[in-house]
Each structure stands twice: as C-alpha cells, then as structure tokens.
Structure 1
Amino acid sequence: MPPRLASFDAYRGIALFLIGLHELLLLDEVAALHPDSPVWQFIRFHTSHVPWSGCSLHDLLMPSFVFLMGVSMVFSINARQARGDTRRQLTQHAVLRALGLIFLGIFIRSISRQMTLWTFDETLTQMGLACLPVFALAFCSMRARALACASFLLLHWLIYALHPILPPHADPTAWNTPAGWPHDFTGFFAHWNHNRNAGWAFDVWLLNHFPRTAPYVGWLGGYTTLNFIPTISSMILGLIAGTWIKNNSTPVRRLVITGVAGILLGLGLHYGGICPIVKHLWTPAWVCLSGGICMLVLAGFHQLMDVQKHSRWAFLFIVIGMNPLAFYLMRHALEAWMAEAVHRHFGTRYVMLLGPQMQSIMTGVPSLLFITLVVYWMYRRKIFLRL
C-alpha cells in the first residue's frame, strides 16, 4: 500500500472546498433572498447548519475533519516509527500538536476581537483537546478502542442526562438564545436544549474565569467545551477505519457495514427517545450518525480512488487536502482582507454585475480562487504547513 492514499486527501479537500463556498460566497444568505426558489432553498439548507436537531451537508464537514484526523493518525504514527522515532518522541510530537491546535483555534476565534477570546469550541481547538486520548489508543487493540469509544459517549450522555432540566430563560436574548426560539425539546430531550444544558452551565462557570470584554452567557450557536468528549469518539472511529485500510486488503466491506450500523444506531437513539441528534452539542446520537456517514463516504472514495485508481478528477481537491491547515487558516485570517481587495481592485461595477443580491458571490469567487491558487503554489514547491 502506498504511504499516502488519494482518498484521504480528496475527502478532506472536498470538505474544505465546501466550507470555502459557504463562508466566502455566503450562499445561504443569498438563498434567503430567494424564498420562492426550490433550488435556492435546497442550497440554503445544505450550506448552513440546521437550527438545532437534524443534519445537513454543512453539518457533516467538521465531523469529516475529526474523523479523517483519526484516519491520518494511523499513517502518521507508522511513518514516524519507520523513520526510527521512539515512543517518547511520538508522544512529544502529539503533545505539541495538541497544544498547537488548541491555540490556533483560539487565535482564529480572536480575529477582529478587542482581546483574546478564550473559548474552546472552535474546530481546531476541539481537535486539539481530543487528539491525545486518541493518540494513546493508537497503540491499543481494536477492542480497547471500541470500548473507549463507547465509554466516552456514555460519559457525555450521563453528564447531560443527570444534569437538571433548566427552565426557559426569563430574557432569552440575554443568554444568546434567539427570541422566539422554536426548537426546544420537551420531556427527557429537554436536557439538550439550547443554552440550558450541562455543557452550557459548565462553560458559564469555566469561561468566566478568563479575561473577557463582557461576561460569558452562552454561545449563539449553542456549542460547548464539553463537545470535545464525544469528539474523541468521532476521532476513534477514524482511527479504527484507518487501521482497517492500512492492515486489511479488503476494508471496504467493514467500512460499509460499520457505516450502516452507525447510521441506524444514531437514528435509533434519537427516535427511541434516548438521545437527540444535535450536532451543536455533539451528542452521542450525532457521533453515531455522522460517524456512519463518514465511514460510507471514505469507503466510496477508497474503492474509487485507491483500489480502482480513478483519482485524476479529484486533483484539485487532493492538492487542497494535502495542505488543510494552510487552506483553513487563510480562509479565516484573510477573509476580510480579500473582500476589501476585490472591492478595491475590481470595483463596484464588477461586484454588482449580477445585481445586489449576488454581490457576496461575486466577492467570494475571487477570494476562494486566490486561496486555492496559493495552496496550489505551495503544492508545486512542496511547502506543506503541518503541526
């Protein structure tokens, strides 16, 4: 088996490209201006997160990154061991990588802020918090990994299920809950309501110990620091999948069976009244559903690109996927600068070419193209940003 498989990079590159489409072109906001168009409403649903419970295409992008980090960890450790790295050196690298991801996530959240925004729910930060336990499990048996995956999910479920159900806020907007919020659960699922749950209560306690411009009262998206616990399980699923691909000559069957089982389990937990599917809280039902989908997607890419060798169509995505950190950081750090540059150099006539409703698309296309070209330039010169 080759040391680097095209399927991993293509899958990761497609996820990054879709994030760029959403964040730079603001397709969901454009779609909101076309409420009578079924096509635009389909685009709107799948280029934004569902309000609370459920799943869209955009919701699956972060789980894909987390899952693929577990997959790539298998090959990264194997490559370092082949170079002669000791367990101590591997551990030191894992610790430094975890710290780097944590603080990069905080840096991203602090862009355009008056001071450092201490929060631990950004994608990179969550991956940094989760990666050390998964690194330790990389040296354990499959049975130990499966048991750990289930244990972290059970722990997260217990934290929420045993926490008292909290009544609605007297002034929801003061706690970053949209006025007239229609997505609250009733009954047992009320343990997972927006900004009235165990994770929210933990963050109100934790994050107010850090210097802030104003007291922390809740994140508008409902994300919490405690999401890192089930994120560990999502990454373990990737670790298992990566090991199957590395060590098994026919891993697709295992990936498909496990993927279907994960989807059915996630739906069973939700409709069985045990745990809702809520990506914002990374609930156990969400881990099972999203993990199952990731397994199936990886199985398809692996069969098509690594087994059947049909990878030329995905060259651009492979290039992006080989430098994910560079693409991700440029998307966040250069977004405002690129938008200003487009307006400055292309002018109002270009930005308004398709009308005022489409100006975010006209601004976003050159920005996305610029980032892609930079990543391609880095690829040609073998420059890869790694932790």
Structure 2
Amino acid sequence: MITIPKPTTNQVDEPRVLPRRLQSLDTLRGFDMFWITGGSKLVHALAAVTGLSWLQTMGAQLHHPDWNGFHAYDLIFPLFIFMAGVSTPFSVGSRLEKGASRTLLTRKAIQRGLILVLLGIIYNNGILHTDLAETRFPSVLGRIGLAGMFAQIIYIYSPKRLLHLWLGILLLGYWAFMALFPVPGCGAGLLTMECNPASYFDRLVLPGRLHQTIHDPEGLVSTIPAVATGLFGILAGQLLRTSDLAFSPARKVLAMVLSGIAALALALVWNLVFPINKNIWTSSFVLLTAGLSSLLLALFYWVIDVQGYRQWTFFFLVIGMNSIVIYMSKKFFDFTYTANALFGGLLSQFPDSVQLVGGVVAFIMVQWVFMLILYRNKLFLKV
C-alpha cells in the first residue's frame, strides 16, 4: 500500500542514501514488547483496583478474541513482523548497494530464520524435556523467523516495483485457498477451527502436537500470509530510507498515514467475506494490522525522528534494543520471584489494592533493570 517516489537518477530501484538507524523504530519495538512483558498486567490490575470503566474497556482489549474479530492485543505480534520488514531496506538494502552477494544475503536470511525457529522450539518445550510426540514445533519466534526470511528473500531477488504484486499473490492466493479447498468431512468455505484448510493441513504435515490439538495459531500454513505482513513493513522501510531531498519527512508521514487508512478500509470490506482472524492470519487481518502498524510508525517517526522529541523514549529503547532477549528471558528467569524478594516485604505493609498494582510495577521494573544492564554493557542479541 505504501508507494515510494520514482528515482530521479538512472537507478532502477531506489535512490541511494546513507543507512541510518531510526530511533522511532527501536522505540516502537520496545513499546510493542512492553505490553507482553507486564503492560497488559498493569492495566488489568489498575482496572480491578479502581473499577474505572475506561480501564476496564482497555483491559478487555488486552485479550485475544476466541476466534473471529480483533482486539488491540492482536496487533502486538504482526506489528513486530512489520517492524522486522521496515528494518530490511536499511540492513539488507545497504549491503546490496555495496555489492554484497545476493546468495550470501539469502544464506544469512535463512540462517536467521532457522535460528528463530529453533529458539521458538526451545521456548515452547525447553531443551530435551519433551518427547517428540508432545513437542510443539510452531511458535511465535518461528513465525517471525519464517515470515521475515521469505520476505527478505523476495526483497533480495525481486525488483522493488514488483513487491505490490507479491502482496497481491500472497493475500489473494491465501483467500482463494481458504475459500475453495474442500476439507474432508467439512467441504469448502468453512472457516471454523475444525474445518478451515490451514488447520487441516497443519494436522496433516506438522509433527508433534498443535497448541489447541486440532489447531495451532502459529501453524505452518497460516505463516504464508504473515510473509505479506513482512512485505508491508519492507515497503514502509523503503519509503523511510528514501532520501529526504527526494521525499520530505512530512510527505513520508503523509504517505504512511494515507496508506494505513487505505489498508484499514480494504480490511473492513474484505472482512465481509473473509473474516478478520488472527488465529488463521486471514488476508483481512494482514491488511488491518498493516494499516494500524503504518499509522503507529508514522506517529512515532513524526514525533521522534522528525520533531526530535526523544527524551521520553529511553524506557522503551532499553526494551526494544533487545526484544528477543526480553521475550525469551521470561521462560528462563523468574522475575516474579525476584520482584517479590525485593519488594514483597515492603508492599505487604500496604492495602491489598496497593499490593496488587505495586507487585506488577515491581515485576516490570525488575525486568527493565535487567534489560538496562544489558543495554549499558552493549550486550545485544543479534540473530
């Protein structure tokens, strides 16, 4: 949905610019991760303690719907894939311009994707703790790895002007498959948990167990449209990487806002025949989350990188610069135990309401201090 200006030189793909790191992107990544590392728990605690209707409404948005529909909590995962796409023109694109081998860059993309798949398996099952039959192979990290890997490979080998064509193929092709493939015993066009084609094929081809026995929200087939989520991010990254002389920051923001609104409108129309559904990552879900991601990126880019309001970003930067670590660490470190050991005694002197909210705040801050130590010592996990 995002269109970049045509180059004014004899270059085919995009104007050459010096690579730079977007503080807005790192901040947005930290903001995204905050909600699954304690932010949602804080809202729920405050809603329970205060009884305020707006907090209760906000808390209701911080749960996933059972099947069809969309809540704000559903945006966290696709936003992360979108942002991985945004960074691609800055990292991979700059190497291509310097003459790096496409084969080498593809090998690195595959290596990164497979490492994330492996980390996802470890996250779900530990190391040598689970029998093969009970091992859950699909994962959040696995989907991030595979979607990002294939989106990067498309970016490496496909002319940039054809990225929109790839989006059409992925989104329309997935819709056709989900609508027309007849699941044995169900027929075609049924998108229930039992009868949708994506879950049916996952049951056939994936070893081990699925998260919900007959369905896995991070299944293999529904990872295909997630590649389109990454491509939407790549288009946004191309736009942001374009020289400010060729396309001013204000015009970049406007382009992202208009593209985001267009994607939202298309998603709502498509929802009438292909429901918005995170569980099977429907094409309408891709468009909705890409639109919202584009609007959020436009806001953060305008405030931070264009207007220069950066003082408030440090809290989220510390999280965003090591997002995989903070995600993995909750499986291997008991931050709740540490927070209770440090602050539980003090909090026990206060009423239950203060203990509830204070416990969540302590949990968040213990994690954040852990991330701060890594940040100060420049210890970043680069996959």
TM-score by length of 2: 0.82
Q: For residue 323 of structure 2, what is the aligned residue in structure 1? A: 324
Flag the 1:256–1:216 CA change in 2: closer, same or farther, 3 A.
closer
How far residue 6 of structure 1 moved from its aligned partner, in angstroms, is 0.8
**Structure 1 residues 315 and 165, CA gap change in structure 2 (3 angstroms):** same
Distance 1:328 1:280, change over 3 A: same
On the 8 A contact 2:74/2:278 being kept in 1, the answer is yes
Query: How many Å separate the matches in 1 of 2:60 and 2:211?
Result: 33
Q: In the superposition, relative to structure 1, how do residues 380 and 97 fare at CA in structure 2: closer, same or farther (>3 Å)?
A: same
1:162 alignment partner, one of 180, 190, 199: 180
Given the alignment, which residue of 374, 378, 381 partners 2:377?
Answer: 381
* Matched residue type, 2:309: H
- d(CA) in 2 for partners of 1:290, 1:143: 22
The residue type equivalent to 1:341 in the other structure is T
Is 2:247 the counterpart of 1:232?
Answer: no
Partners of 2:60 and 2:185 lie apart in 1 by 30
Partner of 1:39: 54
- Could you tell me how far apart the structure 2 residues matched to 1:380 and 1:346 are? 24
Counterpart secondary structure, 1:225: coil
Aligned to 1:266: 267
Deviation per CA, 1:208-261, whole angstroms, max 9, x where unpaired?
x33x6x997324x75532221110000000000000110153322221221111
Equivalent pairs: percent with the same residue?
Answer: 28
**For the residues of structure 1 that align with 2:351 and 2:191, how far apart are their CA atoms?**
43
Matched residue, 1:70: 85
Contact 1:223 1:280 (8 Å CA) reproduced: yes
Q: 1:176 corresponds to which residue?
A: none
**Correspondence for 2:347:** 350
SS of corresponding position for 1:371: helix
Match of 1:172 in 2: none
> What is the one-letter code of the residue matched to 2:234?
L
Partner in structure 1 of residue 64 of structure 2: 49
Which of 88, 93, 109 is the aligned partner of 1:94? Answer: 109
Q: Distance in 2 between matches of 1:254 and 1:362?
A: 42
Cα separation, partners in 2 of 1:291 and 1:351, compared to 1, 3 Å? farther
Per mean C-alpha deviation after superposition, the further-off stretch among 43-52 and 254-263 is 43-52
- CA distances 1:71-112 after superposition (whole Å, capped 9, x unpaired): 011111145457774333322211110101111111111149
- 1:347 and 1:257 map into 2 onto residues whose CA distance is 49
Name the counterpart of 1:130: 147
Match for residue 195 of structure 1? Answer: 194
Alpha-carbon distance between aligned partners in 2 of 1:11 and 1:34, rounded to the nearest angstrom: 29
The change in CA–CA distance for 1:50 and 1:243 in structure 2 (over 3 A counts) is: same
2:381 counterpart of 1:366:
no
TM-score, normalized by length of structure 1? Answer: 0.82
Alignment correspondent of 1:183: none
Residue 38 of structure 2 aligns with an amino acid whose one-letter code is L
What are the within-5 Å matches in structure 2 for residues 175-254 of structure 1?
191-207=190-206, 209-210=207-208, 217-219=213-215, 222-248=217-243, 249-250=247-248, 251-254=252-255
Contact 1:77 1:90 in 2 (8 A): yes
Residue number among 5, 19, 22 corresponding to 2:36 in the alignment: 19
* TM superposition shift of 1:127: 1.4
Residues in 1 aligned to 2:253 and 2:38: alpha-carbon distance in whole angstroms: 30
The answer to whether structure 1 residue 105 and structure 2 residue 120 are counterparts is yes
3-state SS, counterpart of residue 377 of structure 1: helix
SS at match of 1:196: coil
| Deviation at residue 34 of structure 1 after TM alignment | 7.7
Counterpart of 2:336 in structure 1 is: 339
Given that 2:136 and 2:211 are in contact with CA atoms closer than 8 Å, whether structure 1 keeps it comes out as: no
Contact residue 113 and residue 148 of structure 2 kept, 8 A: yes
Q: Distance in 2 between matches of 1:50 and 1:141?
A: 38
1:8 aligns with one of 25, 28, 34: 25
Gaps of 5+ in 2: 1-17
* CA deviations over 1:173-194 (Å, ceiling 9, x no partner): xxxxxxxxxxxxxx99x62212
Q: CA deviation at 1:320?
A: 1.6
Tell me by how many angstroms 1:378 deviates. 1.6
Q: Distance in 2 between matches of 1:13 and 1:330?
A: 15
| Letter matched to residue 364 of structure 2 | L
| Structure 1 unaligned residues grouped into runs of 5+ | 169-186
> Cα distance 1:288–1:86, how it changes in 2: closer, same or farther (>3 A)?
same
